[in-house]
Chains A and B, each alone.
Chain A
Amino acid sequence: MAIISRGFSGRRTPADAKLPPGQYLTTDFPVLSAGPTPRISLDRWEFTIDDGSNVLKRWDWKSFRELPSETITTDLHCVTRWSKLGTSWEGVSLDVLLADLKTDLPYAMFRSYGDYTTNLPLKDVMNKQAWIAFKYAGADLAPEHGGPARLLVPHLYLWKSAKWVTGMTLMPHDKPGFWENLGYHIYGDPWHEQRYSNE
């Protein structure tokens, strides 16, 4: 039974917006990271899609930025319980990246510079649900928030929106990524409060 600290509320503001269960509203943008911030020069950056054996598609920064992009305004929900509403991004939809890619592999492991990985069903990054985002709040995405580019999948907990993303490996079966294999939920739907694995 914890001692309640008189007058302490933390960084949060009253939650009058509708939030997923167990979340608190925050006005700042906490930086969470499991490792050092990678410093990736744009002339080295690439995003690849492979199937475990072959590279199916590859973009360098120039060809990536020539793809059609869009602005997105969305809410973020972190498994550490903070939510940030109405965030604005610019990015390339995964629908654009996956266009004319034929695959029957239903899952993907997203890989980041550094050693971070996170897994997603392929159908969760299609149909206007996911972007590779390179701008936040109108400016180039800062390194501590995942720049040059990060995955953005707002309908799931934010650990699925891999920072410093560099590619995706298509897989036949779902496999847990960095946090999933420690004990976090394999899917991570905040609206069903899927924070942790049931195993």
Chain B
Amino acid sequence: MTWRAANVVAVHDETATARTLALAVRDWPGHVAGQHVDVRLTAPDGYSAVRSYSIASAPISDGHIEITVERLPNGEVSPYLTQEVMVGDELELRGPIGGWFVWRMDQTEPIQLVAGGSGIVPLMGMIRSRRSAGSSARFRLLYSVREPEKVFYRDELRTLSNQGDSVVITYAYTRVTPSDWPRPAGRIDAPLIAMGTWPLTLQPTSYVCGPTSFVEHATDLLIAAGHHRERIRTERFGATGERK
């Protein structure tokens, strides 16, 4: 897997601290939803830093992909990608990477997506992949986020919610809720899993993604609800949500 050049063709802010970069990648071989790329930045003196970012876009074969980057307070790479990078800049990336945390278009079983914060990115890639494939697989999303202003892909998710026969979305807010929100702010818990995810009888495959502590907590809850460990696929973004 070699490093390839990628040109930034568009940037779009998802939130005050998160930005989507649309990249045109030379000789891009295509990807499967859930995979990620490694991005390498190199300073003029040769110093380099590598970070992994999940692919947010559907696998349409035109050599374009999108990644969404959350700016971390003490980050080394994310401040550069969310504030410095401009359309026309060139990045280096390697990928697509991953064969386990993927959703393939030929999967027909019900799918449960559980996102913590920026963990929504690869899961959005799966949602978009389902749509572009015209799949009728039953998808459900439990999206845990600090506050409404931190939701990525807000308009797209709202549109999806309003469409019949589409993705069922449950939001959970951990710090600040919208006014009149029925559930007080807090971490996801067993009652939320019981009412906000596919029941065990549907035998779903689950994908859990987000900061490490969120993934461990959510996975423990799913297992306690009876889901089998092998039916739960996980991707951890680290203590602060940054990988490496």
Determine direct contact between A and B, CB below 8 Å. yes
Contact A10 B76 (CB under 8 A): yes
Complex interface residues of chain A between 69 and 95 (CB less than 8 A to chain B): 81
Q: Does B92 contact A (CB under 8 A)?
A: yes
With beta carbons under 8 angstroms apart, the residue of A4, A11, A24 that contacts B42 is A4
Interface size grouping (class) on chain B? 10 to 19
Contact B80 A2 (CB under 8 A): no
With beta carbons under 8 angstroms apart, the residue of B3, B41, B74, B76 that contacts A5 is B41
Closest chain B CB from A183 CB (angstroms): 19
With beta carbons under 8 angstroms apart, the residue of B5, B47, B76, B84 that contacts A3 is B5
Contact A2 B76 (CB under 8 A): no
A2-B3, A3-B91, A28-B74 are contacts. A12–B47 as well, Cβ < 8 Å? yes
With beta carbons under 8 angstroms apart, the residue of B3, B5, B43, B74 that contacts A8 is B43
Contact A2 B92 (CB under 8 A): yes
Contact B5 A5 (CB under 8 A): no
Contact B92 A8 (CB under 8 A): no
Contact A24 B47 (CB under 8 A): yes
Look across to chain A and name the residue whose beta carbon is closest to the beta carbon of B88: A6
Q: Does A63 contact B (CB under 8 A)?
A: no
Closest chain A CB from B33 CB (angstroms): 27
Closest chain A CB from B45 CB (angstroms): 8
Interface size grouping (class) on chain A? 10 to 19
Look across to chain A and name the residue whose beta carbon is closest to the beta carbon of B46: A2
Contact A3 B90 (CB under 8 A): yes
Question: B80 to chain A: which residues have CB within 8 Å?
Answer: 5, 7-8
Contact A10 B92 (CB under 8 A): no
Q: Does B61 contact A (CB under 8 A)?
A: no
Closest chain B CB from A108 CB (angstroms): 32
Question: A7 to chain B: which residues have CB within 8 Å?
Answer: 80, 84
Contact B42 A6 (CB under 8 A): no
Complex interface residues of chain A between 6 and 32 (CB less than 8 A to chain B): 6-12, 24, 28
Question: A8 to chain B: which residues have CB within 8 Å?
Answer: 41-43, 49, 80, 84
Contact A2 B40 (CB under 8 A): yes
Question: A11 to chain B: which residues have CB within 8 Å?
Answer: 76
Q: Which 5 residue pairs spanning A and B have beta carbons closest together?
A: A5-B41, A2-B42, A8-B41, A3-B92, A11-B76
Binding site for A on B (CB under 8 A): 3, 5, 40-44, 46-49, 74, 76, 80, 84, 89-92
15 additional contacts (CB under 8 A) given A7-B80, A8-B49, A11-B76: A2-B3, A2-B46, A2-B48, A2-B92, A3-B90, A3-B91, A3-B92, A4-B42, A4-B44, A5-B43, A6-B90, A8-B41, A8-B42, A10-B41, A10-B47
